[in-house]
């Protein structure tokens, strides 16, 4: 019981400065801290590398042609996006990550390698819906709040592509043909 209370105290202490940093006009307070541009670049780079890696895996492992095509689209789009991110980061004097971190590898890539057949398709599409939903929320926030104009512009440009990926994954989940044309 004591340990739980200590954890709760730590959490509440950590959230106080976060709320103080929030913009006055931001509407309802979000529990998430505002990211620095560098943290966003790290997140975006990891997202691109993981999605491209999983897209490649889907092309090899998915039994469904729709999922294979979707995976192919993600490899193409997230590779292009990663190059745009690198350019924006360079303009902003920030550093884009160059390798997938161990945590992402363990949490997202590892479990999919273990699956075969329809189980792979189901889990992959679920992960794509969850991942792109999260990414869109973070990119929207960055498009609104980025400190650097190059990063802000990058986030704005990337949003429609992420939305296309989310819609495509939802279509596949619903059994509709996904629009995988650029």
Q: Please write the tens of the pLDDT for every residue from 54-74.
A: 999 999 999 999 999 999 999
User: For the domain bounded by 36-173, which CATH number is listed?
Assistant: 1.20.1260.10
**What is the pLDDT, as a whole number, of residue 54?**
96
Q: What is the pTM of this model?
A: 0.79
> What tens digit of pLDDT does each residue of 110-134 get?
999 999 999 999 999 999 999 999 9
Half-sphere exposure of 29 (CA within 13 A, CB side): 11
Tell which residue, 55, 43, 111, has the closest CA to residue 79.
55
Tell which residue, 7, 100, 6, 4, has the closest CA to residue 54.
100
């Amino acid at each position: 019981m004591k340990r739980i209370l200590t954890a709760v105290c730590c959490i509440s202490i950590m959230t106080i400065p976060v709320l103080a940093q929030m913009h006055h006009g931001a509407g309802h307070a979000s529990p998430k801290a505002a990211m620095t541009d560098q943290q966003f670049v790290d997140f975006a780079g990891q997202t691109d590398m993981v999605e491209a890696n999983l897209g490649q895996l889907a092309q090899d492992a998915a039994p469904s042609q729709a999922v294979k095509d979707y995976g192919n689209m993600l490899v193409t789009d997230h590779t292009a996006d990663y190059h745009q991110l690198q350019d924006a980061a360079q303009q902003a004097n920030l550093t884009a990550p160059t390798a997938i971190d161990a945590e992402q590898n363990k949490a997202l890539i590892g479990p999919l390698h273990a699956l075969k057949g329809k189980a792979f398709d189901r889990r992959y599409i679920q992960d794509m819906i969850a991942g792109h939903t999260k990414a869109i929320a973070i990119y929207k926030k960055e498009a609104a709040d980025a400190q650097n104009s190059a990063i802000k512009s990058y986030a704005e440009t990337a949003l429609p592509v992420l939305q296309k990926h989310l819609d495509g994954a939802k279509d596949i989940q619903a059994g509709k043909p996904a629009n995988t044309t650029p």
